[in-house]
Amino acid sequence: MPLKSCLLRTLIVVCALVFPRPSLANFEQAPPPTALFVVVSIAPLSFLVSGVMAGAGQPHTLLPSGTTPHSYTMRPSDARALSQADLIFWGGEALETFLAHALNTLPKSAHVVELSRTPGLAMAFTTPARKFNEERGAPNMHFWLSTTNAQFLVDEIASALALRDPEHEALYKTNAAGMKQRLALLKEALNTQLRDVRRVPYMTYHDAYRYFEEEFDLNSQGALVANPDIPLGAASLMKLRRDTNRLSIACIFSEPQFEPQLIKILIKDAQIRTGTLDPLGTGIAPGPDGYFLLMQRLGEAFHRCLSH
């Protein structure tokens, strides 16, 4: 056998050993691709969209993990994603002011779903009983922090996806049904976990948890600030110190997105515990389980600080 042919055959054998042929099973188990490019504004809503899209694709989330929509600034990559999207989900202008102008510049043919307008959704409003500062009566836009609301959101997401991608309509409906079953079990588990701390008075950094608090009958005594981006004056701070004493506050909750200096001032020389609540799911990986992890973490944080 010529030396050249021998070397070639040897090389083929070596390559076969070093670079084995891909398993056919790996190709068969891969999820079917979707023609849709779906963009979602923030992580909590993206978690729900991911659950409905499971097996057909993964949505693109605009805000990086742990970023608050209250003060976010659009990047050029965000604008490109919006212009290329087949379907866009967002909460609404009252929460995501940074996104309103960008959406208005899209062509009328763009498909945009404002999830705060979901039929059946229970929208709450801030009231004087829940705030000690600033204006009253604005809509509370953290509507995803209710498992009941999440069930309506899942149905709305599935319907919107099916309209744009009829080929996967059955998959979206099946996924939505499965998500709703998991949401019912989550609600039951959180009810059990929080039952023994429902009477304990506490305060939160800002009024983000109304839906969670009402769903699980917790004893919130209000929020420290009405707008997280506006610092409190000295008079408001003194009033808060008096309120925390008068109301026998057991715990004050901060958030990872905001500087906790205000809380450090309030609890100085006071017998008040502190905890951390995160309505956005900081650090939670994108995917169908994200929403459930977010809500479980909230339940654990409430129980840990209120049960001491």
Give tens-digit pLDDT for 180-222: 999 999 999 999 999 999 999 999 988 899 999 999 999 999 9
Q: Which CATH superfamily is domain 196-306 in?
A: Nitrogenase molybdenum iron protein domain (3.40.50.1980)
pLDDT at residue 308 in the model: 76
**CATH fold for domain 32-118+141-191:** Rossmann fold (3.40.50)
Give the Cα separation of 185 and 48 in Å (integer).
16
Burial of 308 (0-12, 13-18, 19+ CB in 10 A): exposed
Closest-CA residue to 257 (of 88, 42, 58): 42
Strands 38-40 and 87-90, bridge-based pairing: parallel
pLDDT at residue 137 in the model: 63
Domains of the chain, by residue range, sit at 32-118+141-191, 196-306
pLDDT at residue 18 in the model: 36
Residues of the chain short of pLDDT 70, as ranges, are 1-35, 126-137, 229, 259
Closest-CA residue to 199 (of 216, 212, 186): 216
pLDDT at residue 113 in the model: 98
